[in-house]
Structures are given as C-alpha cells and as structure tokens.
Amino acid sequence: MLFGYLIRQSSHQLVYKIDKHIYQDKDLVEIKIPLRVPYFSSWSDYEPFEGEITINNSHHNYVKRKIARDTLFLLCLPNTEKDNLVAAKTNYDNIVNDFDGERKDENAVKKANDFPQYQFHHPDYSLKPPQISITNGTGFVSLFIPDSFISRHDIPPEFNS
C-alpha cells in the first residue's frame, strides 16, 4: 500500500508541474508512435494534451501531441521518480517473497499457514428435491364427456313477420 501511495503521489506531483508549466522545453522527450488511421489529416503544430504512457517499463507523462502523416508525435516528461519507485517495489516484492530463489538460508523464518482459527471451512450441503407421495384413491381415472352437440339437423323454425 505504501508503494502504491508513493507512486500515485509522484504522478500527481508531475501532473501539477505540467498544469502550472513548471518545466523546460529542453526536458521534453519526443516519442514517435506509428498511427494507422486512413483519411486522417496532418497537424502543423503541437496541441496541449495530457496523459501518461509506459514504454519498456519507463513512465512518461505527455504534454503535447501532433499527428503528421502516419505518425503520432508525443512530447513527454520522463517520470523518473515513478520509475525508481516501481523498481524499488518490484525489488522489495522479490526479496520479501523470495522470488529469485537465491537465498538458501536454513535458519530463515519460513512462512507457515498454521492459523486454523482464521481458516473458514465451507460445510458440505447436499440438497435433494422434495418428494411428493401420490395416493391413489380409486385406482382408475374416469372421464365424463357430456353430449353438448346436436347429433342431427332439424328443420329451422318458421320465421313470422
């Protein structure tokens, strides 16, 4: 958490410097990025634009951008403080977690997971569908269909006017 906080603070400080124009043009680094967008017009001058880009683990905050033909040009300030903090965080993580595997100390304290009071065991439940017992009262099904239709055609009644 400490490294995350420090990294965010270094980014905020550099953004503050960019917003207040507390930098010199000689400190800017130009980064060219190929841009494959059809029917895009070129710009003659740089326009102010802020953002952050990471190239090969090197962090930069861009200040201005320009598009010329098929290339995006970014003028950036290198964020060396953030680079140093990220490298220190990675180094610290490797040492603490022994990722490099070079340390073979027999007396080193081993990490153990012997805290049963903090381990939650999930109980096993088995849910069965409800069973419905069907009792047969009569043993057969009777179906009564009443005669609701007329089986023969009679002569219609006479019409009196």
% of the chain with per-residue pLDDT over 90: 0
What is the pLDDT confidence band of residue 12, given thresholds at 50, 70 and 90? confident
In the chain, how many domains are there?
1
Domain assignment present for residue 76? The answer is yes
What's the whole-number mean pLDDT along residues 127-138?
A: 66
Residue 92: inside a domain: no
Give the residue numbers spanning the domain of 30: 2-81
Residue 57 lies in a domain: yes
For residue 60, CA distances in Å to 67, 84, 153 come to: 18, 13, 97
pLDDT score of 8 more than 80: yes
In this structure, are strands 47-55 and 29-34 parallel, antiparallel, or unpaired? Answer: unpaired
> Contacts for 135-141 with beta carbons within 8 Å, 24 or more apart?
none
Is pLDDT above 80 for 159?
A: no
Q: Which of 10, 18, 3, 30 is nearest to 79 (CA)?
A: 10
Gap between the Cα atoms of 12 and 22, Å rounded: 13
Residue 106 lies in a domain: no
pLDDT at 149: 60
